[in-house]
Amino acid sequence: NAGVMQNPRHLVRRRGQEARLRCSPMKGHSHVYWYRQLPEEGLKFMVYLQKENIIDESGMPKERFSAEFPKEGPSILRIQQVVRGDSAAYFCASSPIQATNEKLFFGSGTQLSVL
Amino acid sequence: TQLLEQSPQFLSIQEGENLTVYCNSSSVFSSLQWYRQEPGEGPVLLVTVVTGGEVKKLKRLTFQFGDARKDSSLHITAAQPGDTGLYLCAGPDSTGTASKLTFGTGTRLQVTL
C-alpha cells in the first residue's frame, strides 16, 4: 500500500528555468495539498486541490507558480522562471476527504535547489 | 494571522533524560496536531488533541492541550536516540479545515547515547 509519492526527490535548476514537481496521492485519496518548507522555517501552506479543481490557492505566490490535479495522473506543482528564493523543500500531502481533524499523509518531499 | 511558536528551538539531551517542548499561540485553535519529521522525509502525524485540557499518551510521549486551547505541550519520558527529529505542532486555520494547517517553527531534538 504505497504512500504519497513525490518525484523527483531532488531537483536542481538554474535561475530562469522551469521546475515541475509531481505528487501521486495515496490510493483512494482525492484531496491533495502542497506545502513549502524554507530553510530554518516551518511548513507553509500553498495550495489545496481536488481532482480537476483548485479549492484554495491562497498560500501560493500569484506569479510564476501554478498547480494542477488532472483527472488522470499526478498533481503537478509548476514553478516558472525559478529564482534562488524558490530553493526549498516542497511537500505534498493527501487525504481521502477534506481533512478536518483527520490525518494528512505527507510525501517525502522534493528538495529544489536553484543555482 | 494565527501563529504558533515553539520552544525551545533546539534541544540536545542524553538517552534516558526527560524533556518537554512547548507550542504556544495567542489564538484559539479548534485542535492541534503534533508531527515528527526526520531529515529528508515528510512530517508524520503523532497525535491530534481536540478538547481543552485533553491529555493523550503515545507510549513514552504525553501530549497536553491547554484549557484555553491556545497552547500544547509534548513530554517525552526516558528519551531514546530514535526520538531524534524535528517536532512540529500544527493547527487548522480559523475555518477549522486542515486544508490550511499553520505549522510552528519546530523543536529540533537530538538524543545522544
The DSSP secondary structure of chain B, one letter per residue, reads: ----EEE-SEEEEETT--EEEEEE-SS--S-EEEEEE-TTS--EEEEEE-STT-EEEETTEEEEE-TTSSEEEEEESS--GGG-EEEEEEE--TT--GGGPEEP--EEEEEE-
Please determine, for residue B111, whether its predicted confidence score (pLDDT) is greater than 60.
yes
pLDDT of A22 reads 98
Collect all residues of chain A within an 8 Å Cβ-Cβ radius of residue B42: 4, 91, 93, 106-109
Please name the member of A41, A45, A108 whose beta carbon is closest to the beta carbon of B100.
Answer: A45
Residue ranges in A1-115 assigned as alpha helix (H): none
* Binary contact (A56, B99; C-beta < 8 A): yes
Any chain A CB within 8 A of the CB of B103?
Answer: yes
* Binary contact (A43, B88; C-beta < 8 A): yes
pLDDT of B83 reads 96
Q: How far is Cα B113 from Cα B110, in angstroms, rounded to an integer?
A: 10
pLDDT of A39 reads 77
Any chain B CB within 8 A of the CB of A104?
Answer: yes
pLDDT of A11 reads 98
Q: How far is Cα B15 from Cα B112, in angstroms, rounded to an integer?
A: 6
Any chain A CB within 8 A of the CB of B98?
Answer: yes
Any chain A CB within 8 A of the CB of B90?
Answer: yes
Ranges in chain A, pLDDT < 50 = none
Per-residue DSSP letter, B84: -
Any chain A CB within 8 A of the CB of B99?
Answer: yes
pLDDT of B100 reads 80
Instruction: Say how many CB pairs under 8 Å bridge A and B.
Output: 66
What is the sign of the dihedral through the CA atoms of A10, A63, B106 and A54? negative
Contact B46, B56 (CB under 8 A): no
Other CB atoms within a 10 A radius of the CB of residue A40 amount to: 8
Any chain B CB within 8 A of the CB of A109?
Answer: yes
* Binary contact (B42, A104; C-beta < 8 A): no
User: Which residue, chain included where needed, has cell 522551469?
Assistant: A18
Please determine, for residue B98, whether its predicted confidence score (pLDDT) is greater than 90.
no
pLDDT of B56 reads 96
Chain A interface test: which of B7, B100, B102 (most A C-beta within 10 Å): B100
pLDDT of A98 reads 61
* Binary contact (B105, A100; C-beta < 8 A): no
- Using one digit for the tens of pLDDT, what is the confidence trace for A13-37? 999 999 999 999 998 888 999 999 9
pLDDT of A85 reads 94
- Using one digit for the tens of pLDDT, what is the confidence trace for B35-85? 999 988 999 999 999 999 999 999 999 999 999 999 999 999 999 999 999
Q: How far is Cα A54 from Cα B34, in angstroms, rounded to an integer?
A: 27
pLDDT of A103 reads 76
pLDDT of B97 reads 59
